[in-house]
Structure 1
């Protein structure tokens, strides 16, 4: 992993014409640059953005004070659509995990693979709900996404490809509906503007005037939505 002075980062080169620096959800720094950019030019960009990088890292540290490490035991709380549901371990059940009577019910024999059961639950629920909202925002933005996937995206809530494929992290289903909408609208707007330019935020503002508040909520509470 390259570093410049006291800043360690992951370097990714692409065909894009602009450069970007991101503080990922795990606190690591990603630098995205055009193929032809030299090492000296990259270091000059990092030096120029040093204040912003440390500001974003400070925000990340504040947000991660909310990180929760959950155990798969009776009474532990797990999020779904912004609400916290307690876990109940049950002996007999036709499926590994389901939400019933205000509780997550986990079949006892699935305890060794409890995380996999939760991930599959979020993916299954996300396939319909996210696809429905993608259709809604697709019409508002007048875009034509190609393939939509619910998957593990490591440190990102969503991603997109130049081919028009759009991906969403299964953890998205832990968030309130208003925040899920923000994540979906954000990624679909990238099909119009592939970066976070002023034009991108202006486009998003047209269909979601309160996106700033939703974005701030996600930054503050996102670390708490994990397994």
Structure 2
């Protein structure tokens, strides 16, 4: 993506073969604009002008949501999320593996403290791969879609993505969320296999299989910033 500025709106721009235009407020508060390849700069700026009120409304929501952001330390007693529950960390002297979840606690071997973040990320990726594949199998049947590939990865400021090649990707942080919210993220991305945008048709399609998606979406907007390392 390339960075642009229109009046007081700074945004990243990406052009592709898509047919519609979309504007996203990313998890770090930045603005991303996705448009068809043939769209000219003045046309893009017209879209931004028309959507100005909505953009700033969403930015205000993002600022409110980020009051839940937590900066965690890898010390005994610190809490870490897994499937919506908080598990306290205990630093231990000896155990067979560097990090494990046992008896309601995360146990981290002291000699591995310098690699704690990487160990947690690997834990979330491993657990996420199994659970997310289970949820994809469930929701793809309801939506009557078939993704080409599913990956758990670092997605920077997004919970999930769906490519033109019908590959569906999920951020490793999604496994921190309660199952109902994880289901929202999964169903959301799979719906993009039907509508590769956030048009009214997209939300209507998601509503068919998840009538309470707005409640789940709101939860993620409010609490999502707290799911971090």
Gaps of 5+ in 1: none
Q: Cα distance, 1:183 vs. partner?
A: 0.5
Query: Match for residue 135 of structure 2?
Result: 133
| Candidates 122, 125, 135, aligned match of 1:123 | 125
Once the 2 structures are TM-superposed, how far is the Cα of residue 93 of structure 1 from its aligned partner?
1.4
Counterpart of 1:161 (choices 143, 163, 169) is 163
- C-alpha separation between the residues in 2 aligned to 1:72 and 1:46? 42
Q: With structure 2 as the length reference, what TM-score do the two structures score?
A: 0.97
By how many angstroms is 1:194 displaced?
0.7
Displacement of 1:128 after TM fit?
1.0
Over 3 Å off, 4+ runs = none
Equivalent residues, number = 227
- Displacement of 1:152 in angstroms is 0.6
Secondary structure, counterpart of 1:193 in structure 2: coil
Counterpart of 1:97? 99
Q: Which moved more, 1:31-40 or 1:167-176?
A: 31-40
Aligned partner of 1:85 in structure 2 is 87
Please report the RMSD computed on the Cα atoms of aligned residues, expressed in angstroms: 0.8
Shift of 1:96: 1.4
Deviation at 1:101, TM superposition (A): 1.2
Once the two structures are superposed, what CA deviation does each residue of 1:110-150 show, in whole Å capped at 9, x if it has no partner? 11110000000001111111101100111111111111101
Give the whole-Å Cα distance in 2 for the aligned partners of 1:62 and 1:49.
Answer: 20
**What SS class does the counterpart of residue 139 from structure 1 fall into?**
helix
What is the match of residue 224 of structure 1?
Answer: 226
Q: Distance in 2 between matches of 1:132 and 1:218?
A: 21
